Amino acid sequence: MNPLAIELNDTIKTASPGLFAALSELGRELFFPKGILTQTAEARQKADRFNATIGIARQGGEAMNLASVMKHVKDLSPDQVLDYAPSTGNALLREAWRVHMMKNNPSIHTALSSLPVVTAGITHGLTVSGEMFLDPGDIVLLPDKYWGNYRMVFGTRRSAQIKTYPFFDGTGSYDVGALHRALDEALGEKGKAMVLLNFPNNPTGYSITKSDAGRLVDLLLSTASEDNQVVVVMDDAYFGLFYDEEALPESLFGMLAGKNPHLHAIKLDGATKEEYAWGLRVGFITFGARPADDVDRSLFEALEKKAGGAVRGNVSNCSQLSQSIVLEALADASFYEERQAKFEVMKARAMKVREAVSKPEYAEVFEAYPFNAGYFMCIHMKGLDAESVRVRLLEEHGVGVIAEGEDLRIAFSCLEEDEVDELFDIIYRCAKSMRDGG
């Protein structure tokens, strides 16, 4: 094992034996290389005459550039656009995102969480989480309504066991009891489990309520113990898009981070969905833990370095241009006002969908699952194959939806409000025709 990895492991083991026990074999092997990266970082700070360390070309005191490239990003300097970002991310952006994250999540305590590390989107953050905490055969618990790419990230890439439990209980709320049973079984088998929580949920568009959130937090904190390491990954991709008063208005991360030395919280978020900047691929991974000394940041620095090593060994570093754009946007005086305006548009669409799917005649062929947040909602097809309905809608009506099992997922995020009624009317007429043999 590399001596730098051993050093990081010693730091983690001293500060949090439980967290060290939860690391995967690869997680223990990860380290942040000191060679070129460290020497370049030192030179950026101290080489005030000549800096011949970094593998880019410079001219006239800035990154060498082509006018045909730079003319498309006139408000940013060549260094903001073309230079390499550190593997852990632009330092100013990491600090700015932490401030932004805490503004939206008052329960997050800086003494119990790391500085965010930049990832190339949230999927990359999921990948880093799997690399750090999953060995082949480890168990990942997902609800039965989940984003299919989790199987690729955790099952295919890390050879973990994917086990599911019912997302909804009989009342249409998140089934905390079902997770409890699944978690007890997983811990009984392995003594360790990863729980993936995705609120607002893709595909259902449902987010946990305040009362259910309290029950869920109590369950997770009471289950984690010296013999049972619980890694809780919060995929907060659609954070902030909460349309009902009863929905929990912040991430569960702040309620879990550092509350139990054997529960290891990971928050994944970013500018992709919540800031309407999908293609920029700027995500973040933040670790929550309870170090032996709340003042000592060495535990979090070690986790940040391991995450940075995972980034370095995969994509090297994330887009400097994308990070610069997000950093400038966060500092813009109109940022929060603009974001609120887009939220109101999204909420109006969600409310229109809720109104549309409530038409009594639709109950003949489909029913809507509860939804109160995010980009999506799902309808359950009654007595019809969802994939067959999807294909008929596409080929005969020019309507695209996603079939998942017995359900159709509708992304109302990409529908104008005045398109909603017509869409669901088409789905109803198509499904009724199929049921009637047409």
For residue 53, what pLDDT band results from cuts at 50, 70 and 90?
confident
The number of residues making up the chain comes to 438
**Sequence ranges of the chain with CATH classification 3.40.640.10:** 3-32+87-331
Residue 330 has pLDDT above 90, yes or no: yes
User: What is the DSSP secondary structure assignment for residue 105, as one 8-state letter?
Assistant: -
Looking at the predicted structure, is the pLDDT value of residue 390 above 80? yes
Calculate mean pLDDT across residues 196-201: 98
- Computed over every residue of the chain, the mean pLDDT equals 95
Helix axes of 210-223 and 176-190: crossing angle, nearest 10 degrees: 20
pLDDT band at 40 (very low <50, low <70, confident <90, very high): confident
pTM of the model: 0.95
**pLDDT of 434 strictly over 80:** yes
Does the structure show a pLDDT above 80 at 293? no
**Tens digits of residue pLDDT in 214-223:** 999 999 999 9
The candidate with the shortest Cα–Cα distance to 183, out of 213, 148, 139, 146, is 139
Confidence of residue 192 (pLDDT cuts 50, 70, 90): very high
Contacts of 296 (CB under 8 A, 6+ apart): 15
Given a cut of 90, whether residue 438 has pLDDT beyond it is no
Which part of the chain is CATH 3.90.1150.10?
336-435
Res 38 pLDDT > 90:
no
Lowest-pLDDT range of 126-140, 266-280, 283-297, 348-362? 283-297
Tokens coding 304: 């940040």
Measured between alpha carbons, how far is 34 from 29 in angstroms, rounded to an integer?
15
Mean pLDDT value across residues 210-235: 97
Q: How far apart are CA 235 and CA 252, in angstroms?
A: 10
What does the pLDDT read at residue 37? 66
For the domain covering 336-435, report its CATH number.
Answer: 3.90.1150.10
Say which residue the tokens 């730091």 belong to.
11
Q: What is the pLDDT of residue 186?
A: 98
In this prediction, residue 35 carries a pLDDT of 67
- Counting Cβ atoms within 10 Å, is residue 57 exposed (0-12), middle (13-18) or buried (19+)? exposed
Neighbours of 89 (CB within 10 A): 27
> Cis peptide leading into 360, omega within 30 of 0?
no
Mean pLDDT on 175-192: 98
End-to-end alpha-carbon separation of the chain, Å? 66
**pLDDT tens sequence across 398-426:** 999 999 989 999 999 999 999 999 999 99
User: Residue 289 in contact with residue 258, Cβ under 8 Å?
Assistant: yes
Q: How far apart are CA 310 and CA 130, in angstroms?
A: 11
Domain 3-32+87-331 has CATH 3.40.50.11890: no
**pLDDT at res. 255:** 96
For 232, the 3-state DSSP assignment is strand
